[in-house]
Chains A and B, each alone.
Chain A
Amino acid sequence: MRCQRCDKPATFHITELTGGKPVELHLCEDHAREYLTQAGNEPASAGSMTALLAQQMAKQLALGQTAEELAELDQQVCPYCGISFYEFRSQGRLGCPYDYVVFEKELQPLLLNIHGETQHRGKRPSHSVELSRKHTELIRYRRQLQEAVQEENYELASRLRDKIRDIEESSS
Chain B
Amino acid sequence: MTSKNPPPNESVLDLARELEQLIRSRGEWLKGSGPESDIVISTRIRLARNLASYPFRSRASDTDRQRIQQILKEAIFQDADASQFIYVDLESLEALDRQLLVERQLVSRELAEGQGPRSAVIDRGERFSFMINEEDHLRIMGMASGLNLEEVWQRVSQWDDRIEQRVVYAFDERLGYLTACPTNVGTGIRVSVMLHLPALVLTRQIEKIFRSLQKLDLAVRGLYGEGSQAMGDFYQISNQVTLGQSEQEIMKKVADIIPAIIDYERKARELLVRENLRNLHDRISRAFGILRTAQTISSEETMHLLSSVRMGIHLGLIKEIGILEINDLFLQTQPAHLQKLAGTELDQTDRDIERARFLRRHLNKEDGSQTAPGGSASG
Contacts and interface: CB of A to CB of B under 8 A. Distances in A.
B180 interface: yes
Given A83-B58, A138-B53, A46 B240 contact: yes
A44 B55 contact: no
Contacts of B273: none
Interface-central residue, B52, B56, B228, B249, by most chain A CB under 10 Å = B52
A138 B214 CA distance: 41
Nearest to B49: A125
Interface residues on B, range: 35 or more
A80 B59 CA distance: 10
B221 A129 contact: no
Contact of A125 (B54, B56, B169): B169
Contact of B187 (A45, A123, A129): A123
B332 interface: no
A121 B245 contact: yes
A125 to B, nearest CB: 5
Interface string A28-65: 00000000000001001111011101100010000000
Contacts of A133: 52
A97 B178 contact: yes
B276 to A, nearest CB: 30
Nearest to B52: A135
Interface string B139-161: 00000000000000000010011
A121 B157 CA distance: 15
Majority secondary structure of chain B interface residues (helix, strand, loop or mixed): loop
B53 A135 contact: yes
Nearest to A95: B59
A41 B214 contact: yes
B225 interface: yes
B198 to A, nearest CB: 19
Contacts of B246: 121-123
A51 B217 CA distance: 15
Contacts of B123: none
Contacts of A120: 172-177, 186-187, 243-244
A145 interface: no
Contacts of B177: 120
A105 interface: no
A46 B236 contact: yes
A119 B363 CA distance: 54
A114 interface: yes
B56 A44 contact: no
A116 B59 CA distance: 28
A51 B183 contact: yes
Interface stretch (A1-9, A19-27, A86-94, A153-161): A86-94
30 contacts: A44-B228, A46-B219, A46-B236, A49-B219, A53-B183, A54-B181, A81-B55, A81-B59, A87-B58, A93-B56, A94-B181, A96-B55, A97-B50, A97-B172, A116-B241, A116-B244, A117-B243, A118-B174, A119-B243, A120-B172, A120-B177, A121-B186, A121-B245, A121-B246, A122-B187, A124-B171, A125-B168, A126-B164, A131-B168, A135-B170
Interface of B: 1, 50-59, 108, 110, 135, 157, 160-161, 164-165, 168-178, 180-183, 185-187, 189-190, 192, 214, 217, 219-222, 225-228, 236, 238, 240-249
Given A95-B58, A114-B241, A118-B174, 19 more contacts: A44-B222, A46-B238, A51-B183, A53-B183, A81-B55, A81-B59, A92-B181, A111-B185, A117-B186, A117-B243, A120-B175, A121-B186, A121-B245, A122-B247, A131-B52, A132-B52, A132-B169, A132-B172, A135-B52
